[in-house]
Amino acid sequence: MALVEIQNLHKSFGSNHVLRGIDFTVEEGEVVCVIGPSGSGKSTLLRCVNLLEVPQQGQVFVRGEDITDRDCHLDAARQQIGMVFQQFNLFPHLSVLDNCTVAQTTVLKRSKAAAEQIARDTLDRVGLSDKVSAYPMQLSGGQQQRVAIARALSMDPALMLFDEPTSALDPELVGDVLTVMRKLALDGMTMLVVTHEMAFAREVADRVVFMDAGVIVEQGPPAEVIGNPKEERTRTFLRRVLDPTHVEPTP
């Protein structure tokens, strides 16, 4: 059984049909990178996986449970899923340690001592064990994003969702966040990543999915989708991303 299975997913915002019948699975321990132009439905797909966006049609199964079913205990299902957004969404009035414990104690009902130990362990995993007492405003953007990753990991998720986690960072800070994500992949974390970082997708992903206009155009191993794409639309997109100064010849 796949960890995540999506069947015939449709999502519209008014007259804008963003997802058009998506069928998609993510296996346990798999790293899947979703690429494509802005407006293709990548982030909406990600947000539908934990029902931050409710689809008009289709089903999303997490470990065999249909989380789109009205009878589903959604809060319990969401506890299996960690999500890291483009913006860091940290509580500015809480220390780094408290940012990583508040959900543990309120949602998982862990003791303060247990939550703090888990938070310290996850902060160490992302290279921030020396920042437990700092506040978000005292950290760089890259450090704040790594705290956001640690906060999600502290909930022991089965699946991590990353929605363009480096897009809001200065270029020199991107590498630290991607290094943490590489380590998570090596540790066997199941990850669904929306990204424009082609080098990361080529190196880390087990599978790359290219989306455009609300559909999956093609998917497969990175060497195929990025290195030798079958579809012309994929080739056009990759030319623009990998060689942004390229100018198409005038017919």
Q: List the chain domain ranges.
A: 2-242
Q: Model confidence over 42-68: pLDDT tens digits?
A: 999 999 998 899 999 999 999 888 999
User: In this model, does residue 246 exceed pLDDT 60?
Assistant: no
pLDDT confidence of residue 171? 82
Distance CA 82, CA 109 (A): 17
Which CATH fold would you assign to the domain 2-242?
Rossmann fold (3.40.50)
Distance CA 107, CA 172 (A): 35
pLDDT confidence of residue 146? 94
Give the Cβ contact number of residue 50 at 10 Å.
Answer: 20
Q: Model confidence over 165-213: pLDDT tens digits?
A: 888 788 888 888 999 999 999 999 999 999 999 999 999 999 999 999 9
Q: Amino acid identity of 174?
A: V
Using pLDDT thresholds of 50, 70 and 90, give the confidence band for residue 247: low
Q: Which residue has the higher pLDDT, 97 or 1?
A: 97
This prediction has a pTM of: 0.91
Can you tell me the mean pLDDT for 126-131? 94
Of 68, 69, 13, 73, which is closest to residue 44 (Cα–Cα)? 13
pLDDT confidence of residue 23? 95
Q: Give the mean pLDDT of the chain.
A: 92
Distance CA 44, CA 73 (A): 22
Can you tell me the mean pLDDT for 12-26? 94
Percent of the chain with pLDDT over 90: 77
pLDDT confidence of residue 121? 96
pLDDT confidence of residue 243? 74
Give the Cβ contact number of residue 223 at 10 Å.
Answer: 10
Q: Which residues pair with 59 in a beta bridge?
A: 7
CA 31 to chain centroid: 10
Indicate if the alpha-carbon torsion angle 236, 221, 228, 184 is positive or negative: positive
